[in-house]
Amino acid sequence: MDTLLGRLIKGNGARHWRSYAPLAVLIGLCILIAIANPNFIELRNLVRVANSASVPLTLAMGMTFIILLGSIDLSVEGALSVAAMVLVLLATNDANANHYGWLAVLAAIVASTLVGLLNGVVQTYLRIPSFMATLGMWFIGLGFSVYMLGGSAIRLMDPSIRALALSRFLGLPLAVWVALAAFLLAAVIQYHTRFGRHIMAVGGGEDVAELSGINLRKVRILAFGLAGFFFGIAGVLAAAQLGQSNAVIADGRLFAAVTAVVVGGTALTGGEGGVFNTLVGVLIVTVLANGMILLGISPYIQQTVQGLMIIAAVALSLDRLRLKIVK
């Protein structure tokens, strides 16, 4: 009995430590970079960090809900490309006479949300693993976007939408405030709605969740739709920041989103972690990238460091003593 109690205390202590590890890493990282290069803590650079984190944070909010389910969504780049393409073609641009203004923003988010819902429908009704279903949707969305753009870059010329990147409020670009609003919305959904509790329950154990009366199919479809919604917002921000939509606007976004979620401490097995963890993860990834640039580290070394970081994060976030099988 004493041995069992000791194991329980030790296990709870380890989980408690893991929950605070990402925040400790973020604080330590900021201190080390500031010592190595004091320019890091200049207001101008901190604003640059916040602006760089706006699109990854919004993407990662959507990815968090999928990983909490114990699934994965690889359609990030396809969904973002669709949103950016719809926005640019419907708003004022240099390729056609459309000028629907903020209706184009709404249409872009709706289009990406539909991509997410389609992911959920395909995955649940056809019983295809989320990895394969969303991988296919990634290429479908990306191919459709490139086709609609004619294979070229189309400029976004609507000043009110471009203001998301160019205008500031209280010293921060509007894109940062949009990303913070997306984070707050995600936090409310996860922690203060029945849907959020159902996502956590399904990720913690589908059998138990189903016995509790949770409609697994409905939760999964809505979760993928919610992810598509956040991907759509990110697509709007990305197009506003770049000032155009093109074939490579979403390149690297999938890696950034998954890395941020995992580095923040959300377990890939589902049911553990959440959007607050992801916020810390996004800041770790963004601060590290900014710090390596300030220190003049080679881009190739930066990629190596990021790869090592995600491996270390997975190793720390998983309770390997409880895993019977490693696939």
pLDDT at 207: 78
pLDDT at 320: 47
Domain holding 216, by residue range, is: 43-251
* Residue 285 is assigned to a structural domain of this protein: no
* Residue 319 is assigned to a structural domain of this protein: no
pLDDT at 7: 45
* Residue 306 is assigned to a structural domain of this protein: no
Measure CA 118 to chain center.
19
* Residue 267 is assigned to a structural domain of this protein: no
Total of domains in the chain: 1
Residues pairing with 154 in the sheet: 245
pLDDT at 11: 47
pLDDT at 208: 82
CA distance 171 to 173: 7
Residue 69, token pair as written in the block: 């389910």
* Residue 213 is assigned to a structural domain of this protein: yes
Q: In what helix (H) or strand (E) does residue 304 lie, and over which residues does it extend?
A: helix 299-317
CA distance 180 to 173: 11
* Residue 312 is assigned to a structural domain of this protein: no
* Residue 214 is assigned to a structural domain of this protein: yes
* Residue 126 is assigned to a structural domain of this protein: yes
Burial label, 202 (beta-carbon count in 10 A; 0-12, 13-18, 19+)? buried
pLDDT mean for each 10 residues of the chain (327 residues): 44 57 83 88 90 92 92 90 92 86 93 93 87 87 88 87 89 92 94 91 81 86 94 93 86 86 82 86 89 82 76 62 45
